[in-house]
Amino acid sequence: MQTKILLQDHQIPKHWYNVAADLTSSPAPILHPGTLLPVDPDDLRSIFPLSLIEQEVSRERWIEIPEEVLKIYQLWRPSPLYRAHRLEAALKTPAHIYYKYEGVSPAGSHKPNSAIPQAYYNKMAGIKRLATETGAGQWGCSLALANSYFGLETTVYMVRVSYNQKPYRKNLMELWGAQVIPSPSQHTAAGRRILNESPETTGSLGMAISEAVEDAASHSDTNYALGSVLNHVCLHQTVIGLEAIEQLKMVSDYPDVVIGCCGGGSNLAGLAFPFVRDKINGKQIRLLAVEPSSCPTLTKGSYAYDYGDTAKLTPITKMYTLGHDFVPPGIHAGGLRYHGAGALISQLRHEGIIEAAALPQNACFEGAVQFARTEGIVPAPESSHAIRAAIDEAVKAREEGKQRTILFNLSGHGHFDMSSYEAYLGGQLEDYAYPEENIAASLASLPRVK
Ligand X SMILES: Cc1ncc(COP(=O)(O)O)c(C=O)c1O
Residue 108 and residue 393: Cα distance in Å, rounded?
A: 26
Residue 288 and residue 272: Cα distance in Å, rounded?
A: 9
Which residues in 339-415 belong to E strands, given as ranges?
355-359, 405-410
Q: Is the Cβ of residue 65 or residue 271 nearer to ligand X in the bound state?
A: 271
Q: What is the 3-state secondary structure (H, E, C) of 310-347?
A: CCCCCCEEEEEECCCCCCCCCCCCHHHCCCECCHHHHH
Cα three-residue angle 200-305-26, rounded to 5 degrees = 140
Cβ 328 to ligand X shortest distance, Å: 13
> Which of 143, 192, 139, 188 lies closest to 166 in space, CA to CA?
139
For residue 284, report the phi and psi dihedrals to the nearest 5 degrees: -80, 95
Residue 355 and residue 349: Cα distance in Å, rounded?
A: 6
Cβ 238 to ligand X shortest distance, Å: 13
Q: What is the 3-state secondary structure (H, E, C) of 403-438?
A: CCEEEEEECEECCCCHHHHHHHHCCCCCCCCCCHHH
Residue 394 and residue 382: Cα distance in Å, rounded?
A: 20
Q: Is the Cβ of residue 97 or residue 336 nearer to ligand X in the bound state?
A: 336
> Which of 338, 340, 336, 337 lies closest to 305 in space, CA to CA?
340
Q: Is the Cβ of residue 13 or residue 263 nearer to ligand X in the bound state?
A: 263
Q: Is the Cβ of residue 72 or residue 143 nearer to ligand X in the bound state?
A: 143
Exposed / middle / buried, residue 115 (Cβ in 10 Å: 0-12, 13-18, 19+): buried
Q: Is the Cβ of residue 131 or residue 397 nearer to ligand X in the bound state?
A: 131
Q: In this chain, which residue has its C-beta nearest to ligand X?
A: 335
Cβ 189 to ligand X shortest distance, Å: 26
CB-based contacts of 413, cutoff 8 Å, min separation 6:
103, 108, 109, 377, 378, 379, 380
Cβ 165 to ligand X shortest distance, Å: 13
Q: Is the Cβ of residue 383 or residue 405 nearer to ligand X in the bound state?
A: 383
Cβ 35 to ligand X shortest distance, Å: 28
Residue 101 and residue 236: Cα distance in Å, rounded?
A: 16
Cβ 411 to ligand X shortest distance, Å: 3
Query: What residues are paired with 97 via a beta bridge?
Result: 406
Q: Is the Cβ of residue 44 or residue 136 nearer to ligand X in the bound state?
A: 136
Q: Is the Cβ of residue 93 or residue 411 nearer to ligand X in the bound state?
A: 411
Cβ 69 to ligand X shortest distance, Å: 19
Cβ 417 to ligand X shortest distance, Å: 9
Is the separation of the CB atoms in 55 and 277 below 8 Å?
no
Query: Which residues are at the interface with ligand X (CB under 6 A)?
Result: 109, 135-136, 138-139, 228, 261-267, 335-336, 380, 382-383, 411-412
Q: Is the Cβ of residue 88 or residue 108 nearer to ligand X in the bound state?
A: 108
Cβ 209 to ligand X shortest distance, Å: 13
Q: Which amino acid is at 285?
A: I
